[in-house]
Amino acid sequence: MSENGSAAVVVDDLSERELDLQGRARRFVDDALIPLEEEAERLHGRLPDSRIAEVKAAAVDAGLVGGLHKPEYGGQGWSSLEWFLVEEQLGRSTNAISWHIPNAYNVWDHASPELAERWLVPALRGELRDAYAVTEKGAGSDPSQIEATAVRSDGGFLINGEKWFVTSGDVASVLVVMANLIEDGEKHPTLFVVDKSLPGIETVADPAFTHSYPDGHPTITFTDVEVGSGDVIGGVGGGDEVQRSWFSEERLGIASRGVGSMWRLLDETVDWATGREQGGSRIFDYQGVSFPLADSAADATAGRLLAVDVAERIDAGADPKICHHKASMAKLFVSEAAWRCADRCVQVFGGRGYLRSNVAERFLRELRVDRIWEGTSEIQRLIIARGLERRGVETMLH
Ligand SMILES: Cc1cc2nc3c(=O)[nH]c(=O)nc-3n(C[C@H](O)[C@H](O)[C@H](O)COP(=O)(O)OP(=O)(O)OC[C@H]3O[C@@H](n4cnc5c(N)ncnc54)[C@H](O)[C@@H]3O)c2cc1C
């Protein structure tokens, strides 16, 4: 292991525990998720309760509930590499049906035991959902523009503001809300835990988006919403720091799932192209068809190495700043490569690639947002460029 945490990536050399987990996740995706994709698409992502119950039960049976969270709260306590192995499998399925696996945002790791008991434990039992609200109308890539505020009240804090694109905000019971505590004329970015049933919370828009996913991404307003003095994650003023550490994990998740998406896309498209004949030949024998797939195979393999490298560094306790840069590289590369791969596969399927029943068509729509959320591609490039200057080229490349 070198100073910056780089290690030989030997993902084929998995332990028995890791192989077992990978196998369980793979079977869960093949047996419980993929068969529901077309139904989910027809229903605009909203499966009936009976189907959701089946997915949850299958996830419990497969031991996939709560992933990275601590076993004492009902999680699995996975390493980052174990998380990669599972997310890679989940990425092989469309329509985000995997969102029905009981889980919660990794940020709860920084919550007090009281908050974890109240919200995280029931979330991991599949009894409630959470959502994470940072983005605002005027604050997307630039969180310094956040206008949501909190001030101290007799009971704790009063929150005011409007949050955009709150994924699962339509079904969540609890929201983690970024707001600036205003104290002594200073702004202290803080993550507040907000019970969604509190007075003063209103959903003011619930627009349609490109993908057909289980939950919406509504706009939610907060008017004098009062939370308790203990309803804070990461301490008063600690919001930015907690969020930074959490971003590396979320970006690794996007990269891991993107690698899985390319795997599925290539599986189905190679199968089709080697069976389809036009002009007296298999279409796979035309280089215009097989070369884009070869390029995607190279992309998928390179992306997998990048993602595994990040996971292994995090597990080895490497410098979090380096992990942050490396996670940005993995997210940037894989999210762009996976969407290119989906586009190429649509082309290889021809007219069939434009049908919503086709996996490549669904991935083409679904993978697009991976270049936008958790920091756009441009923001990842900014982070990487800053790393080149501050940490040096060699550290960034090795
Ligand atoms: C489906 C969906 C779900 C989401 N879920 C959540 C959620 O659950 N919680 C949450 O808080 N947010 C969520 N978001 C918000 C998402 O994180 C933001 O959309 C994203 O960070 C970009 O912010 P923005 O949309 O305001 O775009 P802007 O920041 O306005 O950016 C517009 C364009 O300008 C570029 N740009 C901006 N600044 C720079 C710069 N400095 N250098 C170069 N280029 C720049 C961007 O890359 C982009 O191309 C979600 C978004 C979507 C679409």
Positions in the chain whose pLDDT score sits under 70: 1-12
Per-residue pLDDT, 12? 65
Is residue 376 in contact with ligand 1, taking CB distance under 6 Å? Answer: yes
Q: How many CB atoms within 10 Å of residue 207? A: 10
Domains of the chain: 16-124 (1.10.540.10), 130-233 (2.40.110.10), 240-397 (1.20.140.10)
Which atom number of ligand 1 is nearest to the Cα of residue 378? Answer: 47
Nearest to 178 by CA among 144, 202, 223: 144
CB atoms < 10 A from the CB of 228, how many? 15
Which atom in ligand 1 lies closest to the alpha carbon of residue 141? 29
Of 75, 169, 77, residue with least CA distance to 122? 75
Nearest to 128 by CA among 184, 182, 195: 195
pLDDT of residue 13: 84
In a mutational test of the pocket of ligand 1, which residue from 105, 107, 130, 135 has the highest number of ligand atoms less than 8 Å from its CB?
135
Element housing 333 (H / E): helix 320-349
pLDDT of residue 11: 62
Nearest CA to ligand 1 atom 27: 140
Q: Mind listing the pLDDT tens digit for each residue in 284-319?
A: 999 999 999 999 999 999 999 999 999 999 999 999
Q: Work out which ligand 1 atom sits closest to the CA atom of 169.
A: 8
- Ligand 1 atom 11: residue of nearest CA: 134
Residue nearest to atom 30 of ligand 1 (CA): 140
10 CB-near residues (< 8 Å, 6+ apart): none
- DSSP structure class, residue 56: H
* Ligand 1 neighbour 79 (Cβ under 6 A): no
DSSP-derived letter for residue 94 is S
**CA of residue 32 to ligand 1 center, whole Å:** 32
Q: What's the token pair of residue 302?
A: 């390179």
Instruction: Give me ligand 1 centre to Cα 375, in Å.
Output: 6
209-233 pLDDT per residue, tens? 999 999 999 999 999 999 999 999 9
Please report the pLDDT score of residue 6 as a whole number: 47
